[in-house]
């Protein structure tokens, strides 16, 4: 070694690695060790799907409204309650929650579930995010909500739309989920009017942040796939600050976080019509 400072840096890295690998109670563990791999989560999701039919939402008009939110990071539930109240009192067909709903603790999941509206009053679709995985949080998610890779369709008086929910909470879809998605688009996309994809990690970097995105190779494959199969919109969270970019014929949206205490806390309102889709980022404050 050339200098004692290098020795200290390497020693610090080794100590951090050993500590985080040995004591799973720290969230830093997830930097070095997979909790549950995305392939394992996908297999569990597929198993759950085989016993639960994909939901079909019938709407009596030719247009409808979806709300989407992400990054509530429960913890506390002030904004979550306000959001669900808005969803219940406006005529929305469903709510899609794109991950980081909790901070991964079992107590957070319990609190979230307590505040989740009854299925008879509001249709909700949860997806897992990276924070939901912390502290072995996938077990809690799966036990309470089931699959994180699934689809639902919305049938209007004139057409049917395809909504696909994906698990990229580990920064990748994994090879199995990607194969499932590819096959789904190949086989069924022409049967539907619009196609919307919901997932947690946002795709592109428009600001400096320590939150990560899918690797470049995966983005390259997904961009081509979404172009070929005319995916209309990709809705994500994760970055906590909203962004909208039209690239090709696909809108890539990132939503504001719903987390309490943020000045920009908000959600997405999506009005789907026969001739297109209108979206608006709504603030709670």
Please give the residue ranges that form the binding site for another protein (CB under 8 A).
Answer: 1-2, 6, 27-35, 37-38, 130-131, 133-134, 169-175, 178-179, 201, 204-208, 210-218, 220-221, 223-224, 227-228, 230, 245-249
Closest CA to 164 of 264, 257, 231: 231
Write down the least CB distance from residue 88 to another protein, Å. Answer: 31
Write down the least CB distance from residue 199 to another protein, Å. Answer: 13
Write down the least CB distance from residue 169 to another protein, Å. Answer: 6
Which lies closer to another protein via its Cβ, residue 30 or residue 284? Answer: 30
Six-digit token string for 201: 């990690």
- Render the burial of 166-185: b for 16+ CB within 10 Å, e for the rest: bbbbbbbbbebbbebbeeeb
Count of other CB atoms within 10 angstroms of residue 247: 13
Q: Where are the beta strands (DSSP E) in 48-149?
A: 56-58, 64-69, 94-97, 124-126
Which lies closer to another protein via its Cβ, residue 157 or residue 212? Answer: 212
Alpha-carbon distance of 180 to 17, in angstroms, equals: 34
Q: Phi and psi of 264, rounded to 5°?
A: -100, 20
Write down the least CB distance from residue 171 to another protein, Å. Answer: 3
CB 136 within 8 A of CB 106: no
Write down the least CB distance from residue 42 to another protein, Å. Answer: 11
Which lies closer to another protein via its Cβ, residue 217 or residue 275? Answer: 217
Q: C-alpha 149: how far from its chain's center?
A: 10
Which lies closer to another protein via its Cβ, residue 77 or residue 211? Answer: 211
Alpha-carbon distance of 138 to 81, in angstroms, equals: 23
> How do beta strands 233-236 and 124-126 pair?
unpaired
> How do beta strands 150-155 and 56-58 pair?
parallel
Write down the least CB distance from residue 128 to another protein, Å. Answer: 9
Which lies closer to another protein via its Cβ, residue 35 or residue 142? Answer: 35
Which lies closer to another protein via its Cβ, residue 42 or residue 152? Answer: 42
């Amino acid at each position: 070694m050339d200098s004692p400072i290098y020795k200290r840096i390497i020693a610090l890295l080794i100590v951090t690695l050993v500590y985080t690998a040995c004591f799973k109670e720290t969230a830093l563990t997830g930097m070095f060790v997979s909790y549950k791999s995305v392939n394992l989560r996908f297999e569990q999701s597929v198993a759950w799907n085989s016993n639960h039919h994909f939901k079909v939402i019938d709407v009596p008009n030719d247009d409808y409204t979806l709300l989407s939110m992400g990054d509530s990071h429960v913890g506390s539930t002030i904004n979550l309650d306000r959001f669900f109240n808005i969803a219940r009192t406006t005529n929305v067909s469903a709510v899609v929650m794109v991950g980081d709903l909790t901070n991964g603790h079992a107590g957070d999941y319990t609190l979230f579930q307590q505040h989740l509206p009854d299925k008879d009053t509001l249709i909700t679709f949860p997806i897992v995010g990276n924070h939901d995985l912390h502290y072995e949080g996938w077990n809690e998610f799966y036990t309470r909500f089931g699959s994180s890779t699934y689809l639902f369709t919305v049938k209007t008086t004139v057409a049917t739309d395809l909504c696909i929910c994906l698990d990229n909470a580990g920064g990748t879809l994994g090879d199995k989920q990607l194969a499932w998605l590819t096959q789904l688009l190949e086989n069924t996309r022409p049967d539907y009017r619009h196609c919307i994809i919901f997932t947690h990690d946002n795709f592109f970097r428009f600001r400096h942040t320590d939150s990560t995105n899918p690797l470049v190779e995966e983005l390259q494959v997904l961009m081509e796939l979404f172009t070929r199969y005319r995916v209309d919109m990709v809705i994500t969270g994760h970055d906590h600050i909203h962004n909208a970019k039209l690239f090709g014929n696909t809108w890539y949206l990132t939503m504001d976080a719903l987390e309490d205490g943020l000045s920009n806390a908000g959600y997405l309102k999506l009005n789907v019509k026969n001739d297109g889709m209108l979206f608006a980022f709504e603030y709670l404050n």
